[in-house]
Amino acid sequence: MTDRTVLVTGGAGYIGSHTCVVLLEAGLRVIVLDNLDNSSLVALERVAELVPAAAERLVFVEGDLREPHDLDRAFGHAAGGARVEAVVALRGVEGGRRIGRGAVALLRQQRGRHAAAAVRDGTSRRA
Ligand SMILES: NC(=O)c1ccc[n+]([C@@H]2O[C@H](COP(=O)([O-])OP(=O)(O)OC[C@H]3O[C@@H](n4cnc5c(N)ncnc54)[C@H](O)[C@@H]3O)[C@@H](O)[C@H]2O)c1
């Protein structure tokens, strides 16, 4: 089984769940961190149905991407102590305000500890 792991924040959402399908089909392990604010686990159940052979490579962590403790828990699910190779940070919308640069900055801090690759926020051109 591959150790190559990608963390997808907001992975239970519309774009996130489609992203998970593509990553799983590519043979990667996927950790989803989502607080289910605007989604439900049904989306990830559908993901597992679409890529049944990869269901065991999909891990869900319920939590908030702005909380360091929740990020630690999510990064901790990388296989066998391997590092998370990349983070796909799909920003959510809460109370009409985007979850923006603060959360992305937090993810970048975590990169030094847990992740091998750059963190991109999906909308910014700056990595
Ligand atoms: N859907 C589109 O057509 C579209 C097009 C262009 C850009 N975008 C952008 O892509 C991003 C994702 O869009 P979407 O349509 O998938 O949205 P979505 O609401 O379906 O998904 C966002 C996910 O993030 C989760 N979430 C929200 N706050 C969180 C937090 N603090 N911690 C952890 N998880 C949290 C939600 O529960 C949800 O599952 C947004 O920034 C959106 O503006 C979307």
Q: Comparing 24 with 89, which gets the higher pLDDT? A: 24
Residues with CB under 6 A from ligand 1: 9-10, 12-16, 33-39, 64-66, 90-92, 94, 99
Helix spans in 51-117 (H): 68-75, 101-114
For tokens 């910014």, the residue is 124
CA–CA separation, 91 and 43 (whole Å): 17
For residue range 106-126, what is the model confidence (pLDDT) as tens digits?
666 666 665 545 455 444 333
For residue range 13-38, what is the model confidence (pLDDT) as tens digits?
999 999 999 999 999 999 999 999 99
Per CATH, the number for 5-120 is 3.40.50.720
- Alpha carbon of 123 to ligand 1 centroid (Å): 12
Instruction: Give the model's pLDDT for residue 113.
Output: 60
For residue range 48-81, what is the model confidence (pLDDT) as tens digits?
999 999 999 999 999 998 888 898 899 888 766 6
| Domain definitions of the chain by residue range | 5-120
- Alpha carbon of 57 to ligand 1 centroid (Å): 22
